[in-house]
Amino acid sequence: MLSQWPFSPAPSGGEQMLDIPMKGSKVLIKGMRYHELEKWVQSYGYRPAQALMLWKRLYGNNIWAHCSEELEGLNKDFKRMLAEHAEFKALELKDMLTASDGTRKVNMSLCLMAMLCIRLHIQTSSLQFSPRKVTISTSGLVPQIKRLLKESNCALAVSLNATTDEVRNWVMLINRKYNLGLLLGTLREELRLKHKYKVLFEYVMLAGVNDSVEDAKRLIDLVQGIPCKINLISFNPHGGSQFKPTRDEKMVEFRNILAKAGCVVLLRFSRGDDQMAAWRNPGSLAQSPT
């Protein structure tokens, strides 16, 4: 059972009380902010520098440790203390969805993701990477998008996937609550206050649904006044889906229309890899960079 208990540091750490999430008798180490982790480590008689080394092994240096055995380079006594007093697993997010492009994604509320990004924004000096390297993807939760853009510099990706409310109501139910006008109007207004910031619009192309020339022209109009890039994604067919992917040639035609209008377009084909090409000017499929 998870709880939020006042944590009494070890005797060597003084009398200061910390509110640290617990699981049984162990602290949830991935529920701490950096300054909390530093104080907790010091309460067991270890130096702040060791807290920083631990933090980087939890969240940086391509390690992302999930147990004490994965904490390479740390003092043996320090690792022993962590194994005894710390729980490395994060809170579980169990709602897994199949996205329209066939990929599996965790259905985490944007509010929670915004909080995580705000925390990252505060703590990136210790991790030595920019919050803009972290991308939050959303179907279009307008109130949470507002908060994210006001309080964080994390990158934002919005799944658009349609150019009319009629189609988006069908392929993305969230549109029935936050329609295209509200979503795009909010982005247009909020991004006026962000310097050198672009939103990424993800557009999964569905044969006969959202891939017409008229769709391309409407998309150009929809994103007017919004600093953005547009990511055209080939639909990845999966069991139970009623949709089919747009042909590569038609994706290129769609891309060319957008690029000719001055849009920055990313084009991703379904070829078993994640190669993407950025375009400002039209060209042929054969000219796609490797």
Q: Is the dihedral of CA 155, 157, 163, 168 positive or negative?
A: negative
Place of tokens 């969240």: 59
Most confident of 21-35, 92-106, 253-267: 253-267
More confident residue, 9 or 161: 161
Residue 220's nearest CA partner among 263, 254, 159 is 263
**CA distances to 12, 30, 107, 109, 115 from 93, in Å:** 36, 14, 8, 10, 15
pLDDT over 90 percentage in the chain = 45
Sheet of 26-28: strand order equals 2-7, 18-23, 26-28, 86-87
3-class state of residue 203 by DSSP: strand
Q: pLDDT of 116-149, one tens digit each?
A: 555 555 455 455 556 667 788 889 999 989 988 9
